[in-house]
Amino acid sequence: MSESDGQNQVENASAEASRVARDALVGKLRRSGLRPTRQRLALAEILFDGKDRHVSAEWLHEIAKGRGAGVSLATVYNTLHQFTGAGLLREITVDSSRTYFDTNTGDHHHMFLEHEDRVVDVPSNAVSVNRLPEIPEGMELVSVDVVVRVRPKAAS
């Protein structure tokens, strides 16, 4: 086998791996009731790569631009909200100017590191909420999301 055959095999294997990954994403979108458009797929590829992430629309837009995906920030926002509506993402609002989208939709809370503008996961059993307001008549509790905000102690 020549060196270039070896190279071709590596390229074929990685093309095969990315085709399999893309098929999995197409299936994920379809099962969630979303048509797998080129733009949705481009963003889903970045978001759902197997790691738990908390992303901002601006971050996702930058990464997509870097990959030549050609999506506007408005499209990124729309897509993130569609993914959230379809249950693929969970929205975490830290304050009125900061929203993150979480690829981990399981039950957990968050800690916001103010000095780093970063959100990290807190396991659900690390927080206990032992008093809740009365749920209005005809309503049911969906979830309680806790965001614990921290910053470095002021020097004394």
Using CB under 5 A, list all residues that contact Zn ion: 102, 104, 121
For residues 25 and 69, give the distance between their C-alpha atoms in angstroms, rounded to a whole number: 16
Nearest distance in Å: CB 54, Zn ion? 6
* Number of helical H runs and strand E runs in the chain: 4, 6
Could you count the other beta carbons within 10 Å of the beta carbon of residue 83?
Answer: 24
Nearest distance in Å: CB 67, Zn ion? 24
Nearest distance in Å: CB 102, Zn ion? 4
Report yes or no: 60 and 80 within 8 Å, Cβ to Cβ. yes
Tell me the longest C-alpha to C-alpha distance in the chain.
74
Q: Which residue is nearest to Zn ion (CB)?
A: 102
Instruction: Name the residue nearer to Zn ion (CB basis): 41 or 111.
Output: 111
